[in-house]
Structure 1
Amino acid sequence: MTAVEFSPRVALASLSGEADAEWARAASEYAGLAFLGGIALDDRSREAARELVARDRNEFLPEDPVAFVDEQLTALADAPIRAGFNVRSATVDPVGEAARVCAAHDAILEVNAHCRQDELCAVGCGESLLRDTDRLCEYVATAAEVGATVSVKVRAEVPGVDLPATASRLDSAGASMLHVDAMDSEPVVRDVVDACDCVVVANNGVRDRETVHEYLGYGADAVSVGRPSDDPRVMARVCEATEAWFAAGD
């Protein structure tokens, strides 16, 4: 792993309305990177987030989302974990604004091309952004041009999306990391690794030695944990398995 360093090579995946600085600090014993968020940045994505809240989903809806990114990253300034922020936007300009804040904190800006909720997809966020490679590459280039280290959260099994080909284009656009939700197609991680020079973080069902070593065996540089990230038992197993894998490789 070269472009983006963190240790241990375990990341905490963003959880809407839950993944804040306090959450990241609590799991910092077991992870080297935490993606806060996701946070809706522009009017259309924020309206979609409000609709999600209306049907009982958790969402961050601060009055000023870019200021919220700054506040949360500031709160992690002395924490023993690298930070990233997962962002959603139907328009590109707010992505650049959030990227400037992330760059100032040496944090990673993660473009969300992953969420599949209907409300978000309807306004051009999440999975619908993954289907629009030109626009997704514009988001990545905009964030990279202001000095941010850029990750893109993507998912497998999206009809019509050639994920390795998309990975190659995102690499060329300026992405340093791809955060891959493999769904039930774990070998796609190997295809993404082969298609680009980005750091690849594998996600989905990471719980124990078996799942960690499966993803790392496909060539992933790191793994990430989502829902169980607040369970110390799961995190300890994942951290131990990850460190053992790379220690054996050394």
Structure 2
Amino acid sequence: MFDPRLALASLSGEADAEWAASGAEWAGAAFLGGLCLDEPTREAAREMVADRDREEFLPDDPIVFVADELAALSGVDVRAGINVRSTTTAPVREVAEVAAEHDAIVEINAHCRQAELCAAGAGETLLREPDRLEPLVGAAAATGADVSVKVRTELAGVDLVDVAKRVDAAGADALHVDAMDSEARVADLADATDLFLIANNGVRGRESVREYLEHGADAVSVGRPSDDPAVLERVADAVEEWFAEHGAPAEAPR
């Protein structure tokens, strides 16, 4: 799916093409976004900006924004992804069509825990209601784009292994897991599906990289410090060291 097996994870209002290009020296992929696509999620983002002074991407036309951002990365040696929030399938399909043209990954956000987005029916709400998550995955996969689903592990009452199996069946290619201090859950997911598994949370250097890869992750991602060259270099070196010791990774599914 990407090489080296280090991704830059999306950061609301910050993760754009310029940000991705700045980390391309170390990363194999960069997930832009998160980007709200439909009116319920866009209204939630407007509320977050107005009420809590959060940074959010709110372009007039999200589809044009995606096309422009992906085009800006066409000469950069990093595989782009776009993390999207939506409660409806139509805009997901539109974004995925654009992504497919640029060989980019569409990442369905079932991860965000902001109250406004959850109230709109997006983010981590989709983990509690996987019947609503599956059509979003299917809509993106139907375009031929590679599809990732961003999830988190700590939600009570959510069977994440079951969710993983369901999005796999719906057409997902990857699972981007925010382990939330539950690193062993990565092994459960690695055993349950053949999805390309990206592990996230607290990835800062050799120890965290090795822990996730030992649990069966195919790659790791860096979130908040993704704009820190020292952290990225340290993580990239640890990823390279791991695969040098354990053999080159098999070609990732596409």
> Fold-level match, TM-score > 0.5?
yes
Alignment correspondent of 2:164:
167
1:18 counterpart letter in structure 2? E
1:196 corresponds, among 184, 193, 196, to 193
Taking the aligned partners of 2:196 and 2:158, their CA distance within structure 1 comes to 20
1:217 corresponds, among 214, 220, 224, to 214
**Residues 1:8 and 2:4 are matched in the alignment:** yes
Taking the aligned partners of 1:194 and 1:68, their CA distance within structure 2 comes to 37
Taking the aligned partners of 2:99 and 2:127, their CA distance within structure 1 comes to 22
Following superposition, the deviation at residue 165 of structure 1 comes to 1.3
Q: Could you say what secondary structure the match of 1:109 adopts? A: strand
Following superposition, the deviation at residue 183 of structure 1 comes to 0.3
Alignment correspondent of 1:93:
90
CA RMSD of aligned residues (A): 0.6
1:105-128 deviations in whole A, cap 9, x for unaligned? 110000000000000000010000
Alignment correspondent of 1:81:
78
**Residues 1:56 and 2:57 are matched in the alignment:** no
1:53-89 deviations in whole A, cap 9, x for unaligned? 1111110000000110110000000001000000001
1:22 counterpart letter in structure 2? E
1:181-222 deviations in whole A, cap 9, x for unaligned? 000111000001111111000000000100000000001000
Equivalent residue runs for 1:88-237 within 5 Å: 88-237=85-234
Alignment correspondent of 1:29:
25
Taking the aligned partners of 2:244 and 2:81, their CA distance within structure 1 comes to 25
Following superposition, the deviation at residue 92 of structure 1 comes to 1.5
Q: Could you say what secondary structure the match of 1:245 adopts? A: helix
| Runs of 4+ more than 3 Å apart | none
Q: TM-score, normalised by structure 1?
A: 0.97
Following superposition, the deviation at residue 160 of structure 1 comes to 1.4
Alignment correspondent of 2:36:
40
Gaps of 5+ in 2: 248-254
2:107 counterpart letter in structure 1? E
Q: Which stretch of structure 1 is more off in the superposition, 128-137 or 195-204?
A: 128-137
Following superposition, the deviation at residue 147 of structure 1 comes to 1.1
1:167 counterpart letter in structure 2? A
Taking the aligned partners of 2:86 and 2:166, their CA distance within structure 1 comes to 20
1:8-45 deviations in whole A, cap 9, x for unaligned? 10000000000000000000011000000000001110
Q: Could you say what secondary structure the match of 1:191 adopts? A: helix
Q: Could you say what secondary structure the match of 1:58 adopts? A: coil
Q: Could you say what secondary structure the match of 1:25 adopts? A: helix
1:76 counterpart letter in structure 2? L
1:164 counterpart letter in structure 2? V
2:8 counterpart letter in structure 1? L
